[in-house]
Amino acid sequence: MKRYALVTGASGGIGEEISRKLAGEGWNLYLQYYKGKEKVERLQRELEGMGAEVISIQADLASAEGARFLASQLFTLEAVVFAGGTAHYSLFQEIEEAEMDKLWQLHVKSPMILVQLTIPKLRKAMSPSIVFVSSVWGQTGAACEVAYSTVKGAQIAFVKALAKELAPSNIRVNAVAPGAVNTPMMDQFSLEEKAEIAGEIPMGRLGAAAEVAEAVYFVCSSASSYITGHVLAVNGGWYT
């Protein structure tokens, strides 16, 4: 039976690597994106060259309508990986309410809507799972990223509660919490600032998107068949 996984944020650095890893392990994919159409088209061709069946879907998850549209495009499903999102760096007192709403919709409400709509499909799968790519800041919080830390913490709370509710249906729900990963999201920092961050990490370097992808694959795979409600930290020892 063909296994299909939905990866949101497939045009991002982490989403791209997750898609590549899953395709390499025999999964077929739905690739959700909003921007970066050409990048996703290149990724789709690459993954199809690896033997995967790939369906790309443009949907704006900053709106509830976008989440519902995305759900309507899915037929069979065994895994959902939420890898999309955006950060916001500023003092909390300076963030606009519209930006708060966008972060909440994109990271929390749209995923919740999408989960509601895909549970019936997941229940029919052999080994279904839901995975959130959260963040170290969802575990411990960060100054100047208060709103982002809040929505990432909400994802973790959702994972822990939903895992208990869906366990009787054999649907596992987990999160992967990356630390500082060298992706375009880090481009807001200078090389000097990145070096300072790396110096704070016990392993002495930034993470790679491929390392996050390995963790996501693990919690999607049969190797983690008795793991649910867990937050897997991928942060080089930055937060333990």
Active site residue ranges: 148
Spatial distance between the Cα atoms of 215 and 156, rounded to a whole number of angstroms:
16
List of residues 6+ apart from 173 with CB closer than 8 A: 129, 130, 131, 159, 162, 163, 166, 228, 229
32 and 71 Cβ atoms separated by less than 8 Å: no
What's the distance, Cα to Cα, between the start and end of the chain in Å? 39
Other Cβ atoms less than 10 A from the Cβ of 143: the count is: 9
DSSP symbol at 181: B
What is the Cα gyration radius of the chain?
17
d(CA 119, CA 132): 15
Which residues, at least 6 apart from 11, have a Cβ–Cβ distance to it below 8 Å? 33, 34, 35, 36, 37, 39, 40, 43
- Do residues 60 and 114 touch, judged by C-beta distance below 8 A? no
C-alpha closest to that of 18 among 220, 205, 216: 216
User: Phi/psi class of residue 106: alpha, beta or left (left: φ > 0; alpha: ψ in -120 to 50)?
Assistant: alpha
